[in-house]
Amino acid sequence: MANFVAEPEASAEKEKVRAPAGEGTRLHISLPPEVLQRLKTIQTETYATSLTEVIKNSLIVYAALLSEHKKGREIYTRGTDGPEARLPIFL
């Protein structure tokens, strides 16, 4: 399971390093090796420039799925060679 620790922007000042304007809160995340490997695989497959980009994009998709789920909608996928299949969403 991942551990999340929020670090306020002010901590950068303690180290005499200023965070760029609008950077926000920095998170330190401990992940099991298999989860980190999955993130790296997604980074490679999507040509993301960083793991941060992968996580930010994942949050965008997750928020969209949550929004549709809250409206009572279901998500389906359709391949070129077959019928639609319902995508199970675990929220």
Specify the pLDDT at position 19.
59
Q: Sketch the domain layout of the chain as residue ranges.
A: 1-30
Q: Report the chain's mean pLDDT, rounded to a whole number.
A: 83
In three state form, how does the secondary structure of the chain look?
CCEEEEECCHHHHHCCCCCCCCCCCEEEEECCHHHHHHHHHHHHHHCCCCHHHHHHHHHHHHHHHHHHHHCCCCEEEECCCCCEEEECCCC
Q: What percentage of the chain carries pLDDT values higher than 90?
A: 60
Q: List beta partners, residue 55.
A: none
pLDDT, tens digit, 9 for 90 and up, residues 46-81: 999 999 999 999 999 999 999 999 999 999 999 998
Specify the pLDDT at position 8.
47
Specify the pLDDT at position 18.
58
Give the predicted TM-score (pTM) of the model: 0.67
Specify the pLDDT at position 91.
78
